[in-house]
Amino acid sequence: MKRSLALVLVVLAMSGMVSVSRVAAGEPWDPRGPVHFVPNSQEFWDFSKNWTTNYGPAYRDTSTAPTNFLQCSSKFALCFHSGAEPLPCRLSEDGRFAKCTCTVMDGINYVLSTAILNYDVYLKTFWKCGDEGQNCTTTNDAPVCNYLDKGKLIPGAQIISTFDTSSTNTVQATIPPTPPLNCDGPFAGCMTAPCTLKKNGQAECSCPVFWGHFQLYGPNAQCDLAGDLVPSASYNPKHDPDVP
């Protein structure tokens, strides 16, 4: 099982967090690899000064308020349902990323303001939309919406992973009455991750992996998918029983 690799645990002094990331012991990150973030530095995103919330880096996909979801209109990849077959998310050998198969859609979609993986675009969006996105309430009002195509957000990306209206409504509809499933372990944080288009019309997205607490929604949710599969998920501290 790939997840049984010897991984370094970085225990953070914060309730509910296991680690910002785990790295194969003795195996440094290779900056010559594909572009996953801007800047393309794991150390930059893991440094607490650059976190987008108090709960970890942007790639933890942390939602702190409904207004965090900024409405855009564009072609996008939807990884909300990815994880198990037939839309697998396969963990890389070093535990840092997951290769996720995602559906491709076109139209209204939502960007989580705290999970923008281009720091300059995050700052532009933060200053216009506010700390929780509350100042951007109309479609394409948020600066990030202007960067979702032609590799403008992440160089080399043909399409960007975001949320769609029906998936967002599905999540909101489960709170209440159905509480989310709280999990602990690795998950793919696919929000604003770079994707390439496949010949079959799907997208293949390279999603950063966070190791820690996360939530899943829906009656068939599973924390552990076994083997090298991990769920595509997000985190909301309001639903974490370990957060006061």
Those residues of the chain that have pLDDT short of 50 are 1-31, 168, 170-176
pLDDT value at position 34?
78
pLDDT value at position 12?
36
First to last CA, the chain: 35
Token output for 150: 């032609």
Whole-angstrom Cα distance, residue 90 to residue 85? 10
pLDDT tens across 15-61, in order?
344 434 433 222 333 445 579 999 999 999 999 999 999 999 999 99
The model's pTM: 0.83
